[in-house]
A and B are shown apart, each in its own frame.
Chain A
Amino acid sequence: MKIKKLRSKIAIAASLALSAGLVATGLPSAQAAGLQPTAAQLAAWKGKEITYYFYNDSQAELDTTKSQIADFEKLTGAKVKLDVIPYTSLDTQLQARLAAGNAPDVARLNNPGLYIKDSLDLEKYLGRKYAAEFLKGSTLQVTHPTTKKLIGVPYDLTVNGPFINVDMFKKAGVAVPTSWNWTELVAAGKKVQKATGSEYAFAIDKSGHRVSTAMSHFGAYMVDKNQRNVLPTSKFRAEKAIKIITDLYKADQAPRDLWIGTGTKYSSPTAIFLAQQTPIFFSGNWQVAALAKDAKFDFAAVPNPKELNGGGWPGGKFLVAFNASKTPDLAAYFLYFLADTAQMEQMDKNAFWLPTRADLVAQGVKYATRTADMGVFQADAAKTPAAAYGIQSVPTLTGNIYNKLRDLMTEVIAGKITAKQAVQTQIDFIDAQLATLRK
C-alpha cells in the first residue's frame, strides 16, 4: 500500500514538473521531501536499461526486489535487468565482469571494500547530505578511505547472535536465557545436549566475522578506527574467546566436520539446527526468514552472551553503483529508490532485515511475525561496542583478515596449533596486511 502511495506521489510531482516546463541539468541535493527525477531525466531514462547484480538469502528478498523493480520501472520508464548470482560466486563473477568491461550498473554486495575503485561517487548524484540519512556505523564500509565520499548505500544492518531451539531447551528443563555469559551458554548447550540426546551442544557459522563477535564479548579487537593493529593489546582476551569455541569443536560438541571438511568454502550449520541436532546456533538475523519457513520447532533469537561487552558485531549488505555505468544518474537514482524509507521498510518487513536508515531506526520497523526475535537483534545492535566498528576503517582488508581468522580457527580445531599460536599468527598477519596500505 505504502509503495503505491509513494509512487503516485512521485508521479504527481513528476507531472507537475513536466507541466511547469522545468528544465534541470542535475538532481537537486537531497531534501526532506525526497529526491525526484526531473523531467529531463525522465525523458533521458525512458527505455534505458540498467543491470542489477543481486544475490539473495531468502525467497522473500527476491520476491520483494522483483516487485520493487516493477515499481521503479513504472516510475522512471527505464528497465532493470535482474541478474541473480549464487552467493559463493558473487565476487568471482563480478571481478570477471569488471575486468571484461561489462560491469553491471548496480550491485548488492557483501564486501564493498573490494570495489572501491569501481564504485560511483554517490554524493555527486544524491547530494552531500545523503550519507546522513543512514546510521553512521553502517556507512563506514562504503565511505571512500581517502576522499571520505559516500560510494555505496548500506542496505541492511546485520547483527550476529545466537538462536536457540526452545523446544529442546524446555525438554531439558533449561530456562530460555534473557541474559547470559559464555560459560553459561556453553553449560546450557551441554545440558540440553545431554538431556535431549542431540548430536551437538553448539554450532556457529564457519566465518571469521562471526567469531569476531565472541572476541568482542571478551573485549578483543583486531583493528581500530585509526587503522592500527590492536590485537596485541588484547591477545589474552582473544585467546579466551577462540578457546571457548574451539574447545567445543575439538570435543565434538560442535559440528567439527562441517568446519574442517569444507576447505576454504563458507559453510553454515543451518541444516544441523533445522534437524534439531544442536540447541544453540550462532549466526545472525538474516537467518530469521529461512528459519521461520523451515523450522518444524519453536526457535528464538536470544541476546548475545555478555562478558566485558554484550551486543553483536556490525555487518551488513550494501548497494553500490559502478562508475562504468552508462547512465550513472539512473543507477544512483535506483539505489536511492531501493533505499528510501518506504522501500526499505517494505524489504525489512518481508525479509526480516534490520534498517540502516536513521528515520526507520528511530520509528522502528513493525514486523508482522517474529517480533520478539527482531527485537532481540535490534537491542543487541544498540549494545554493540564502538570498538567493533574499528575494523571497518580498512574496508579493503576486512575480507582477508576475517578469512585468515577462519583458517586459523580451522587449524586450532584440528589440533594443529593452539589458540595462543593462532592469535600470534593473526597478529603477524594483520601487521602484514596493514603494511600493504602504507606501501
Chain B
Amino acid sequence: MSKLQERASANKWSSMGGKKPPSVGTILRTTFLLAMTFVILAPVLWFVLSSFKDATDLGARPPKILPTRWAFENYTEAFQMYNYTRYFMNSVFVTSVATVLTLLINSMAAYAFAKYNFRGRDGLFVMTLAMIMIPLQVILIPIYLVVSSLGLVNTYWGMIIPAAATPTGVFIIRQYMLTIPDELIEAARIDGAGEFRIFARIVLPLCRPALAVVAIFSILWRWNDFLWPLLIAQKEELYTLPVALALLNGQLVVPYNIVLAMSVMSIIPVLFMFVFMQRQIVQGIAQTGIK
C-alpha cells in the first residue's frame, strides 16, 4: 500500500507541474479512489498471502499478515497431486476456441441485425436479448438432456458450442455496427462484392474495437465458467481449472491449503491478461458506443 501511495503522490505532484496546490476536489477524489483501491486489492492480496501459509498459520489468531514460514509446498503439492498443466491447457483450449467461435457467430448475427431489413428482425433481436434473462442453473437438467442426446457430453465441443452464442456479444457488436455508414456497404455491393465478402473484408475489420471487447468478455466468461463444464467434463482429461477447483473444494476431506494454491494459480493468467489489456478493455468499451 505504501508504495502505491508513494507512486500516486509522486504522480500527483509531477502532474501539477508545480503551478498550484491540488484543489479540495482533487484531494477528496484521490482519497476516495485510494480507499476504493484498498477495498478491492486488500482482500485479493490477503488471499494470495494465505495461499503461502501452512495449516498452523491459517488457523492463527490474531491472523498473521505474512506467513511465518513460506509454505511453497502448497504449490508443489498442487502440482504433484493434480494434473495442473492438463487442466490449464484444457482451459486455454476451451477458452480460445469458444472465443473465436463466439466472435464469428455473434458478429454474423450482429451484422444481420444492424445492416439488413428482414421479416422478423426485431422479433429475433428481442429474443436474443431475452436470452440473458434465463439463468443456466434453472434449466440445467433440460439442457443437459439436450447436450447428451447430441452426444456432446465428455467432449470439448460440449463445453464450447452451447456457450458460444452470447446475447451480450451480439448486442455490443450490433451497436457498433450501427455506426458504420450504409454507403460503404452499398458501394461494395455496386462493385459486385458478395455479401459474405463484404462482411468479412469490409465490416469486420471496422469493428475491431467492439470485437476486442467481446473477445475479452468471452475470455473472462469461459475462463471462469464452472457449473457447465462440471456437468459436461466427466473425465479428468477434460477438466478445466475451475472444474478442478470445484472438485478439490468438493471433496469429503478438503485440503484447504491446496485449494488456496490452486485458486491463486487459476487467477494468474487472468491477472496477466488484465495488466496487459486493461487499456484495450476500457477504450474498446468506450468506443463501442454503448449508450
Range, interface on chain B: 20 to 34
In the complex, which residues of chain B have a beta carbon less than 8 angstroms from the beta carbon of A101?
148-149
Please give the distance in Å from A385's CB to the nearest CB on chain B: 26
CA A99 to CA B140, docked complex, whole Å: 12
Name the interface residues of A249-305: CB closer than 8 Å to any CB of B.
Answer: 266, 268, 270-272, 274-277, 286-287, 290, 294, 296
CA A150 – CA B193 in complex, angstroms? Answer: 71
Q: Are A102 and B253 in contact (CB under 8 A)?
A: no
Contact A59 B234 (CB under 8 A): no
Main secondary structure of the interface of A (DSSP, over half): mixed
In the complex, which residues 128-142 of chain B have their Cβ closer than 8 Å to any Cβ of chain A?
140-141
User: Could you tell me if B253 and A86 are in contact, using CB atoms closer than 8 angstroms?
Assistant: no
- Please give the distance in Å from B226's CB to the nearest CB on chain A: 10
**A270 contacts B254, CB within 8 Å?**
yes
Q: Which residue of B lies closest to A100 (CB)?
A: B148
A-B pair number, CB within 8 angstroms: 89
A84-B247, A102-B148 known; A93 and B231 CB under 8 Å? yes
B235 touches A86 (CB 8 A): no
Whether the Cβ atoms of A99 and B256 lie closer than 8 Å is no
A271 & B256 in contact (Cβ 8 Å cutoff): yes
Q: Do A100 and B145 have beta carbons less than 8 Å apart? A: yes
A268→B55 contact, CB < 8 A: no
Cβ-defined contact, B253 with A270, below 8 A: yes
Determine whether the beta carbon of B251 is less than 8 Å from that of A59. Answer: no
A89 within 8 Å of B by Cβ? Answer: yes
B219-253 CB mask vs A (1 if < 8 Å, else 0) is 00000000000110011100000000011111111
Q: Decide yes or no whether A83 CB sits under 8 A from chain B.
A: yes
State the interface size on chain A (CB cutoff 8 A).
Answer: 37
Give the distance to chain A from B152, nearest Cβ to Cβ, in Å: 11
* Per-residue B-contact encoding for A83-107, CB less than 8 Å = 1, 0 else: 1111111000101110111100000
- Is A199 engaged at the interface, CB distance under 8 Å to the other chain? yes
Pairwise interchain contact A275-B149, C-beta atoms closer than 8 A: no
Confirm or deny: A57 has a beta carbon within 8 angstroms of a beta carbon on chain B.
Answer: yes
User: Which residues of A in the span 57-78 have a Cβ within 8 Å of any Cβ on B?
Assistant: 57-59
B59 within 8 A of A: yes
Question: In the complex, which residues of chain B have a beta carbon less than 8 angstroms from the beta carbon of A88?
Answer: 249-251
Cβ of A81 under 8 Å from chain B: yes
Known contacts A57-B253, A87-B251, A100-B144; 4 additional CB pairs below 8 A are A86-B247, A99-B145, A270-B254, A271-B55
Task: Enumerate chain B interface residues (CB-CB to A < 8 A).
Answer: 55-56, 58-59, 61, 81, 140-141, 144-145, 147-149, 153, 230-231, 234-236, 246-256
